[in-house]
């Protein structure tokens, strides 16, 4: 008989604000708002629970937040610090299981099936996990444990902040019929409204809707909800198996000493690296540039960026500075390469810290080029390549293109 899975969802309560409170004990118990200083443009990226109780939460304009809570601590925040803390949280997860699936920079699913025999019961297991995080990082979290992702999330949401809820099979069967459809995975606001127009408010009512009707109205999602309404959630916790680096490089047919051509090539290589990062929904924390001279001597250097990014506009200044630093000889260059390192998921919080204009522009270019080809839009920086490389549909045909992943 197949062993029942034990799945947990860990939610780091008001993570960014909680990190600030852990770093500065004077902020503990006080409303903390991360996103910017009072009077600046922008929105609240994270609010502590003290601020939430007073009416300020994610997405509220900073000006409005200040009007409501003029005595709150307003902080710009530091994404590098938050990512370091999140890595430390994940290091704690790794001591319990290798099957960890982050879903944001404050939330992750864990498959704890292998921990079954190490603890007296699931409550003891959950308390141990919470205690380890609290002891090491002085951060609170909410934990939900059940036999599926769906009910692990439901359990996690039942006691916040700093709660622990275990939903076993018996309790799951008792809860399922009256479960509001909004708590079913992937039922968003619009879908919920349409389902309610059909008279469907709970999982038991959803079970009465024929599957062909759900398929016609919602496609693949409808087929999923047909299972979820019956308590069937076969989604597994997916361990991270992403690439450690993404790189692009080329060797020239003839060496070059033309700075504009070399810089244009680097920008094109950067475009290819950034495109791949966006396809993988990753951001890079470090960027490296390497070059090889005609005499086969090589030089390279790396730089840690202020914020992780996957857009050319954000990363190019670092690439330019690196190239100017390492290109010191009046000798022909035969090889150039760019490598993105310290990769991490492009979570919502990271994107909010990035320049929105830069990210939106990059996405728009990706969309146009995917439909009309690379050369439907290109920047002036790559113009020097037109006489050196043959143009192909998705870019320039480099002599030795390579992409690691």
Name the nearest CA neighbour of 212 among 223, 225, 196: 223
CA terminus-to-terminus distance, the chain: 38
Is the sign of the CA dihedral 10, 11, 12, 15 positive or negative?
Answer: positive
Task: Answer for the pair 107, 115: CB distance below 8 angstroms, yes or no.
Answer: no
| Active-site position among 50, 101, 107, 249 | 107
Q: Using CA atoms, how far apart are residues 221 and 259, in angstroms rounded to an integer? A: 52
Return all residues near 279 (Cβ < 8 A) that are at least 6 apart: none
Asked about 107 being catalytic, the answer comes back as yes
State the DSSP string of 255-282.
Answer: EE--HHHHHHHHHHHHHHHHHHHHHHTE
Pairing type for strands 298-309 and 73-75 reads: unpaired
Tokens of 85: 């803390």
Angle, CA 28 vertex, CA 27 and CA 30 arms, to 5°: 70
DSSP 3-state of 291: strand
Asked if 32 contacts 21 with a C-beta cutoff of 8 angstroms, the reply is yes
**Residue 182 near residue 204 (C-beta atoms within 8 A):** no
- Could you tell me which of 331, 137, 167, 321 has the C-alpha nearest to residue 233? 167
Please identify every residue annotated as catalytic: 107
């Amino acid at each position: 008989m197949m062993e029942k899975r034990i799945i947990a969802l860990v939610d780091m309560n008001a993570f960014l604000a909680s990190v600030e409170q852990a770093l500065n004990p004077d902020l503990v118990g006080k409303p903390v708002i991360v996103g910017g200083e009072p009077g600046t443009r922008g929105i609240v990226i994270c609010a502590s629970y003290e601020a939430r109780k007073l009416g300020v939460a994610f997405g509220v304009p900073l000006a409005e937040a200040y009007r409501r809570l003029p005595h709150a601590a307003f902080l710009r925040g530091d994404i590098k610090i938050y990512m370091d803390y999140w890595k430390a949280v994940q290091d704690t997860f790794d001591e319990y299981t290798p099957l960890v699936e982050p879903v944001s920079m404050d939330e992750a699913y864990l498959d704890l099936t292998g921990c079954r025999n190490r603890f007296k019961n699931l409550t003891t297991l959950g308390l141990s996990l919470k205690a380890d995080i609290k002891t090491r990082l002085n951060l609170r979290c909410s934990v939900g444990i059940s036999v599926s992702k769906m009910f692990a999330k439901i359990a996690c949401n039942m006691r916040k902040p700093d709660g622990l809820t275990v939903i076993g099979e018996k309790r799951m069967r008792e809860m399922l019929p009256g479960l509001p459809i909004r708590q079913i995975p992937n039922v968003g606001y619009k879908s919920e409204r349409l389902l309610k127009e059909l008279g469907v408010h709970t999982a038991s009512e959803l079970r009465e809707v024929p599957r062909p009707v759900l398929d016609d109205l919602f496609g693949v999602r409808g087929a999923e909800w047909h299972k979820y309404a019956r308590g069937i959630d076969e989604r597994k916790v997916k361990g991270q198996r992403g690439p450690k680096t993404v790189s692009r490089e080329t060797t020239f047919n003839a060496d070059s000493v033309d700075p504009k051509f070399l810089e244009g090539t680097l920008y094109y290589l950067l475009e290819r690296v950034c495109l791949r990062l966006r396809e993988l929904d990753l951001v890079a924390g470090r960027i490296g540039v390497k070059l090889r001279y005609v005499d086969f001597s090589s030089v390279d250097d790396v730089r840690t960026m202020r914020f992780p990014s996957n857009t050319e506009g954000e990363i190019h200044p670092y690439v330019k500075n690196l190239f100017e630093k390492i290109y010191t000889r009046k000798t022909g260059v035969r090889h150039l390469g760019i490598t993105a390192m310290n990769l991490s998921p492009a979570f919502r919080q990271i994107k909010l810290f990035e320049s929105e204009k830069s990210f939106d522009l990059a996405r728009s270019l990706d969309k146009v080029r995917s439909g009309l080809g690379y050369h439907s839009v290109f920047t002036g920086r790559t113009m020097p390549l037109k006489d050196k490389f043959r143009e192909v549909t998705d870019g320039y045909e480099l002599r030795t293109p390579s992409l690691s992943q």
